Structure 1
Amino acid sequence: MNSVAIHAGGISANLGNVEVLHNIDLTLKNGCWTSIVGPNGAGKSTLLKVLAGLLKHRGTVSLLGQPLASLPGRTRAQQLAWLGQNESTGDDLTVMDVALLGRLPHQAWLAPPSATDHAAVEQALRATQAWEWRARTLGQLSGGERQRVLLARALAVQAQVLLMDEPLANLDPPHQADWLAVVQRLVAQGTAVVSVLHEISMALHADEMVIMSKGRVRHQGPCAEAATHRALEDVFDRRIAIHALGAQWIALPQQVAYQGPGACDD
């Protein structure tokens, strides 16, 4: 197996007439969880869409050693799974139907789902604790429950590379912890996981971190290294600080200057 999951060279991209990514070079490894972080407007989601082949760009992207643009659509869909932000799915579809969509790249045209497809979907729904609602429709679910079903759809692909944009949206802390456990199991199996996260402390659980600002990669390195922590603090203008908590690192807000009495003061 190629040790490199995704390689990007000289990536630039526009949204409208504005260039939002500027000459990015990036290598992401198999069996590694990479978190992409940075301030609002840094270009994180745009970069992830380029890596997924969802956005026009300049430069090159390869997936598992092959040029992404030259891969047949079915092959790409089998090798790379995607979970985007605010994905719309019909409210009348059942949880089972949505999760089965993740198996389409593995099915012949118009063929019904196989026993292998059903087994993969059950495994994915159980991993996200959504199996018990498999007969319910998405319209009957909360935002957090819906997000877990969409994650199950991505897991059901059983792809070598999994890209996720803000996967923790609407998830409460216990289910964020469940998501973390799912990611760690995937990485242990050799999957490459790449996630854009606003939750910096959760992002610090990853193996490597890509830190972005103003459409450029400012730093890439192991999450446990001091250089990564310094770069992370710098890109947020020292408004956060990285601290050790046992064997893990967390991001805490730096104290800001006192601005006078507030509404809750006597």
Structure 2
Amino acid sequence: MKVQSSPGAAALSLNSMATRISGHRILRGIELTLPTGRWTSIVGPNGAGKSTLLRVLAGLLPTEGVVCLLGHPMAHWPRRERAGRLAWLGQGEPGGEDLTAYDVALLGRLPHRAWLAPPSPEDHAAVARALHATQVWDLRERRLGDLSGGERQRVLLARALAVDAPILLMDEPLAHLDPPHQADWMAIVRELVAAGGTVISVLHELSVALQADDLLIVQEGSILHHGPCADPLTHAALQAAFDDRVAIHALQEGWVALPRISRKKDSHAN
């Protein structure tokens, strides 16, 4: 998978950012810099503003303050150039139910093609790589609407991968994926990052999120903590964000977050 970026440069940054939706302030006072070449997972309680923050980073929501992509204000990027540098996989994305899986993935190549130009050999090669990476090559002639939820999700991931963008943003990418395909997704992410790419993902699966390089913890529309997943301060902040109802345990490689079960003492016990 081809990615081009400058190691150490800011992939995305937010300055004095705040966002309102239907008159309600969802995010406020956000100052954030996300470097290239790292996988950052965004986590937090339900309703914390995780998906809203990701959509702001993708330039999909109007916002106060300044959002920068690769050091330049998002608004200054021509739409096609921006789409070629930042790929997006959202929740419940429409994908064209009557299109084949191959044609859905081919949509990811639109930023690289002139208006009405036919797909090039490079476009077809990028689509083939993406479909093989997500293990849906054998489904390439099937209609998207005929696929299971997990198969559909992997096709939409292939569409995002086919962009060959240096930055990939994903909102709940593990939806409908069974554990083996979740492991495959993590392998894809690690391959992208090893190649110099940047991945930013919103995840509910805390144990998967802890396998990232950095954790961005959102609580009540603000950033509670942003730091390496290996840092004990990050673990403490994650537990605090969920009212100490999760506990972080060390494994041979990495960490796992498990629900903390509290039992009330039986007042009638001897």
Distance 2:219 2:159 in 1: 31
Deviations 1:169-202 (A, max 9, x none): 0000000000000000000000010000000000
Find out whether 1:20 has 2:26 as its counterpart. yes
Deviation at 1:241, TM superposition (A): 0.6
Match of 2:202 among 196, 202, 205: 196
Q: Which moved more, 1:248-257 or 1:40-49?
A: 248-257
Match of 1:91 among 90, 97, 101: 97
The structure-2 alpha-carbon separation of the partners of 1:148 and 1:259, relative to structure 1 and needing over 3 Å to count, comes to farther
Runs of 4+ in 1 over 3 A off after TM superposition: none
Distance 2:265 2:154 in 1: 41
Give the paired residue count.
Answer: 260
Deviations 1:204-254 (A, max 9, x none): 000001001000000000001100000000000000010101121000111
- Tell me the equivalent position of 2:252: 246
- Three-state SS of the structure 1 residue aligned to 2:227 is strand
Distance 1:69 1:167 in 2: 26
Find out whether 1:205 has 2:208 as its counterpart. no
Distance 1:206 1:38 in 2: 15
- Tell me the equivalent position of 1:256: 262
**Aligned partner letter, 1:124:** A
Distance 1:25 1:49 in 2: 16
Gaps of 5+ in 2: 1-5
The structure-2 alpha-carbon separation of the partners of 1:255 and 1:134, relative to structure 1 and needing over 3 Å to count, comes to same
Find out whether 1:29 has 2:35 as its counterpart. yes
Deviation at 1:256, TM superposition (A): 1.9
Q: Superposed, which structure 2 residues align to 1:46-57 within 5 Å? A: 46-57=52-63
Deviation at 1:259, TM superposition (A): 8.5
Deviations 1:13-63 (A, max 9, x none): 011111010110111111100000000000000000001000010011111
**Aligned partner letter, 2:174:** L
- Tell me the equivalent position of 1:72: 78
Find out whether 1:221 has 2:223 as its counterpart. no
Deviation at 1:89, TM superposition (A): 2.0
- Tell me the equivalent position of 1:165: 171
Distance 1:89 1:125 in 2: 15
> What TM-score, normalized by structure 2, do the two folds share?
0.95
**Aligned partner letter, 2:28:** H
Find out whether 1:232 has 2:232 as its counterpart. no
Gaps of 5+ in 1: 261-266
> What TM-score, normalized by structure 1, do the two folds share?
0.96
- Tell me the equivalent position of 1:116: 122
Q: Aligned residues: percent identity?
A: 61
- Tell me the equivalent position of 1:81: 87
- Tell me the equivalent position of 1:178: 184
Q: Which moved more, 1:150-159 or 1:62-71?
A: 62-71
